[in-house]
Structure 1
Amino acid sequence: MRSFEEINEKIEKGKVVVLTAEEAVKLSKEKGVKYVYENVDVVTTGTFSPMCSSGVFFNFGHTTPPMRMEEIKLDGVTVHAGLAAVDGFLGATQEDGIGGSYVIEKLISGQDVFLSANAKGTDCYPRKKIEGYINKDIINEFYFFNPRNVYQNYSAATNGSNKTIYTYMGKLLPNYSNVTYATSGELSPLLKDPKLKTIGIGTRIFFGGTQGYVVWQGTQYNPSTEDIPKNPSRTLAVIGNAKEMSREYIRAAKFKGYGVTIFIGIGIPIPILDEEIAYYVTRSNSELITTVRDYSKHDKPIIREVTYQELKSGKIELNGKYVKTAPITSMNVSRKIANELKKQILNKEFFLTKPVASLPSKSDYKKLNTKSTKQEKVIKNECVNCGLCTGYCNALYIENDTVKFERTNCTNCGLCSDVCPVGIELPWGLIN
């Protein structure tokens, strides 16, 4: 077996052998999987697809006088402000104004956007309003933290109803008249390492034109028991500095009848540590399978299985007739990402990271099931032992990092309740 350290040493010495996933598939057909394992160190992947579960964190910088921003808008788009004084989060699919993804794209492009924020004003944050233009060079932080990107396979979409429907998979014509799909096939990152033997928390990735990292399993993470999943399975949560990203790999988008979304470009290098990994990275479009689902029904039933080679041919047979297929994922940009990542590794600009922890092999993923009746539970309001109250009251003190109460010194003045950040009320509950 090879190691991450050995491959990084080859990168440092300029001796590393890197192929894109498409090149690895071609080489395997010519000389076999074993040859790929013995002669290739890294295989690069790429995808450029709409990834709705994306968004950016901001730190706008403190104003003079200081302000705790409570209602924030950028070019009329609502930014979630329930974080701290001048922090905020903007989801890519935020719908008001021009849409969250369009604000993100403008900032990445270096354009100015209009900031407006309001607040009630407090003693430590007295300012109540600010308006003006900002850009990515003015603010402190501007980074993506995406809860769910890079689906491990994704079902193709069709429509069995008698009317046209508009979805996040695009416009679907009635009576199974077209099919759309959204995975880059043999370039797709998680199809090249389906068991995530090399991808985990801490994996360095190509993200939007800069280097980012895998930070957790993505939401809706639902590992398949199949060797190579045929349905939506694993996902990744990723982070990256939006200030360093390029509009070439981050693009705002809008689907008619659905709403705004965002194209995200991600590439992941797969180190060829053993022959099993070499086998998976060399699977071709003719061997990678997804399902076609009917999006006109809420449970999206499977109509048939199909290979990516069939999908990429431009038409497939569906219910006895041939219908057009069309990708949402840009193969042009996906291929560009894989090639750019290859170039960076060869130029010693990108080194591999060994995961600090593996992602789960199982998941408790479930669909929302609300209850028709509300269950009330009594939650006791307990002291968290922060100790703030001890600075105001002679009846309270800290001993062994725990707040203690001396009843004989209590005058029932109520000052402890006045300053308590978790709302402990008199009479006090922490009797020693």
Structure 2
Amino acid sequence: MASKRVKKTVRQINEKIRSGDVVVVTAEEMIDIVDREGAAGAAQQVDVVTTGTFAPMCSSGAFINFGHSAPGTKASKIWFNNVPAYGGIAAVDCYLGATEPCEDDPLNKVYPGEFNYGGGHVIQDLLAGRKVHMKATAYGTDCYPSREYEKTITLDKLPQATLCNPRNGYQNYNCAINLTKKTVYTYMGALKPKGGNANYCSAGQLSPLFNDPYYRTIGLGTRIFLGGGIGYVTWHGTQHRPDVKRAPNGTPLTPAGTLWVMGDMKQMHPDWLVGVSIQGYGCSLAVGLGVPIPILDEEMARFTAVSDADIFTQIVDYGNDYPKGRSSDLGQVSYAELKSGEIRVNGKSVPTVPLSSMVKARQIADTLKKWIRAGNFELGEPQFTLPSV
């Protein structure tokens, strides 16, 4: 007898969340379920699959409203702990970028180009409840006559702070290697000469967009785990490229889709938004991100059962190719191979180094699973999904 075709909606799944009947598993758990029950059986049993990733995501930052002074100030230049923020928005609104370095970082004075404090660290300090020194200068107007504004701020005293990350959750990224004779310093970390290491940055089978490769369930209004709190997908991220070469299972073989995400910083936690300093590159912010995937049908069950052995990325020589826009044929490698600790490039064994944390990715997926099971997190039905092929 043919099995009944599974067809669910987000609204139906949310009703099951409210009633306490929802079945939620992580993306790693889904692999075994589909292997055992098949896609049709898994789609009947499971309602939501949770994902997670935690890694440096440079295209991140926060819109901050720091409140009016008396008399008023129309701030044109702003600093938080001597990290410049962009003030060309309104009188007391600004955008603090995660990769903006501190202007008087002592490390930079000793080693030019090196920084150990930047915008990402300011964000983490605010989340941790630490006091941050703010300074603003202005050109003065009749309605905003003050030309300088200085105070100590804390997150709880700010009128508003919104995390706004224009490009997070990259759907696949390069495996970076360096075949030149000198060390190169990149956003993928330090790469030793002559293929001394290979760095990668993805949670693989737990990564959100690998589990919905054609973005069938993700778009404007998708509710997510963001920085330890609840956030939303608000647009496709910058550099979103769905039209790339893909494997038969739908996963891209090169960098592809991205997410634009936002959320209230006052709900977030410093464990999940962590300022980082990358040697020879600069500052960034490690972001905790998790997306729940509704199992609408058998196809979504198959997508969410993708394993590291079935996800591949390209190997890119950052010493010769990346700055010049070239692409040598160094082949592809699976995430199972990358996570094994070594790969082979040109016949040589090369140790692999992850920039993303699988431990924290699993914690995010588990946390999201608990929130949904407890009825504290309903799925956000997108108004429209991300651009796809």
TM-score by length of 2: 0.91
Give the one of 318, 328, 345 matched to 2:345. 318
Indicate the residue corresponding to 1:259 in structure 2: 282
State how far apart, in whole Å, the 1-side matches of 2:20 and 2:245 are: 39
Aligned to 2:67: 61
Query: Match for residue 203 of structure 1?
Result: 222
User: SS at the partner of 1:88?
Assistant: strand
Q: Per the alignment, do residues 332 and 300 of structure 1 end up closer, same or farther by CA in structure 2, a change over 3 Å counting?
A: farther
Say whether the 8 Å CA contact 2:134–2:152 is kept in structure 1: yes
Partner of 1:360: 387
Shift of 1:212: 0.5
| Match in the other structure for 1:192 | 211
Q: Which amino acid aligns with 1:68?
A: K
Question: Does the CA contact (< 8 Å) of 1:294 and 1:300 recur in 2?
Answer: no
Where does the alignment leave 5 or more consecutive residues of structure 1 unmatched?
Answer: 363-432
Give the match for residue 88 of structure 1.
Answer: 94
Q: Measure how far apart 1:176 and its partner are.
A: 1.5
Comparing 287-296 with 339-348, greater Cα deviation is found at 287-296
Residue 61 of structure 2 is aligned to residue 42 of structure 1: no
Root-mean-square deviation (Å): 1.1
The residue type paired with residue 333 of structure 1 is: K
- Please give the alpha-carbon distance, in whole angstroms, between the structure 2 residues aligned to 1:356 and 1:34: 27
Deviating more after overlay: 135-144 vs 261-270: 135-144
Identity of aligned residues (%): 46
Displacement, 1:271? 0.3
**Alignment deviations for residues 6-41 of structure 1 (CA, whole Å, 9 cap, x no partner):** 100000010000000000012222332222111100
Match of 1:163 in 2: 182
Provide the C-alpha distance between the structure 1 equivalents of 2:245 and 2:294, rounded to a whole number of angstroms. Answer: 23
Cα deviation, 1:180-229, whole Å, max 9, x if unaligned, reads: 11010100000000000000111111100111111111101111252210
Aligned residue in 2 for 1:283:
306
Is there any run of 5+ residues in structure 2 with no aligned partner, and where? 1-6, 104-116
State the distance in 1 between where 2:310 and 2:259 align: 24
SS of corresponding position for 1:333: helix
In structure 2, the residue matched to 1:215 is 234
DSSP-derived class of the 1:336 partner:
helix
SS in 1 for 2:172: coil
Amino acid in structure 1 at the alignment position of 2:194: N
1 CA distance for matches of 2:129 and 2:306?
40
Q: Deviations over 1:138-172 (max 9, x none)?
A: 11111111110000111111011111111111111
CA displacement at 1:300 relative to structure 2: 5.3
Q: Distance in 2 between matches of 1:69 and 1:327?
A: 41
CA–CA distance in structure 2, aligned partners of residues 95 and 171 of structure 1: 19
State the Cα distance separating 1:307 from its structure 2 match: 0.8
Q: Quote the offset at 1:361 in angstroms.
A: 2.3
State the AA in 1 paired with 2:50. Answer: T
Rounded Cα–Cα distance in structure 1 between residues aligned with 2:201 and 2:139:
45
Greater relative contact order (Cα < 8 A, sep 6+) = 2
* Structure 1 runs of 4+ with >3 Å offset: none
Q: How many angstroms apart in 1 are the aligned matches of 2:370 and 2:359?
A: 16
Displacement of 1:359 after TM fit? 1.7
Scaled by the length of structure 1, what TM-score is found? 0.82
1:185 and 1:345 mapped to 2: Cα distance?
23
Give the structure 1 partner of residue 156 of structure 2. 137
**Deviation per residue, 1:366-425 (Å, 9 max, x gap):** xxxxxxxxxxxxxxxxxxxxxxxxxxxxxxxxxxxxxxxxxxxxxxxxxxxxxxxxxxxx
Contact conserved, 1:293 with 1:300, CA < 8 A, in 2? no
Q: Secondary structure at the match of 2:302?
A: helix
Aligned to 1:402: none
Q: Tell me the SS of whatever aligns to 2:182.
A: coil
Once residues 84 and 321 of structure 1 are traced to their aligned partners in structure 2, the CA distance between those partners, rounded to angstroms, is 56
Q: Which has the larger radius of gyration?
A: 1
Task: Give the 5 Å matches for 1:10-49.
Answer: 10-49=16-55
2:170 maps to 151
Matching residue of 1:299: 325
The aligned amino acid for 2:302 is Y
One-letter identity of the residue aligned with 1:114: H
Distance 2:95 2:142 in 1: 25
Secondary structure of the 1:133 match is: strand
The aligned counterpart of 2:356 is 329
